[in-house]
Amino acid sequence: MRIMSLATGNAVDIRDAPGDTFADIEARRFRSNSELAAAAIFFAFALVLLGLAAVRVVAGRRERAPAAVPTLPAGAALQSCLREMARLKPEVARDGWTPERAGRALAMFRIAAAVALGRPVSHTLVDMNAPTREGQLMLRKGIFRPRRTLLSAPITSDAIDRLAGGRHQEHESAPGGRAGETLEEIRKELIVFSAARYSRNGHLDTVALDQALDDGHTALRRLRFATLRPVRAAEALVKSAAALGSMVWSR
């Protein structure tokens, strides 16, 4: 007697073994690997498309966002005005006044007025060969790769009367405790040099222009001193102490 199979005593049913061969198992394994590879490829394509969409969104936001323009320090603008004045004075002493030289002085005091009012000074970075237009001052920047920055401001004597007349608060933030006196002096120089630059009869009052240039030089130096950090820090400390004292006395 030949025994084909054995069953345990607790078996309740007997089933035949499955008829799958090793070839069937290998086929299933190949299909699963193929499907896994296809899923990985599709997932990689999805990541690429997502990355491209993100790049386009970021690029669109950068195009719509305005370019940030760095603010020109007040001290640098005033120092540029003082350098231009140092170049202008010998020219006037040697060759006298002309409408063009009056226009150069006018540009200096317009920039100084903007600083005294707490207004921004327009500045444009250009190449070394770029020409300077009327109403602009040149500021050199850089040593190894020098560039030029053209400064300008649209402030006039009427604008000073408007902005510092009590209806706006820009004048309160002007540097230095004597900003009111300095601003009034600059306003006078603006009137003198505006009249000389845009005079129709071509007559230049050289005595008034010389006096205005000297007085304006003093005003610029005073304003430049007021923009120094130690001076501004000391003034802020004095204002804070005065405000604190007024609060204590009010109680």
Which residues of the chain fall short of a pLDDT of 50? 65-68, 166-177
pLDDT of residue 5: 62
SS (H, E, C) 177-230: CCHHHHHHHHHHHHHHHHHHHCCCCCCCCHHHHHHHHHHHHHHHHHHHHHCCHH
Q: CB neighbours of 161 closer than 8 A, spacing ≥ 6? A: 187
DSSP secondary structure letter of residue 219: H
pLDDT of residue 66: 47
pLDDT of residue 201: 78
pLDDT of residue 169: 44
pLDDT of residue 162: 86
Token readout for 121 is 């000074």
CA distance 234 to 231: 5
The sheet carrying 147-152 orders its strands as 122-126, 147-152, 137-141
pLDDT of residue 10: 72
pLDDT of residue 1: 65
CA distance 208 to 192: 7
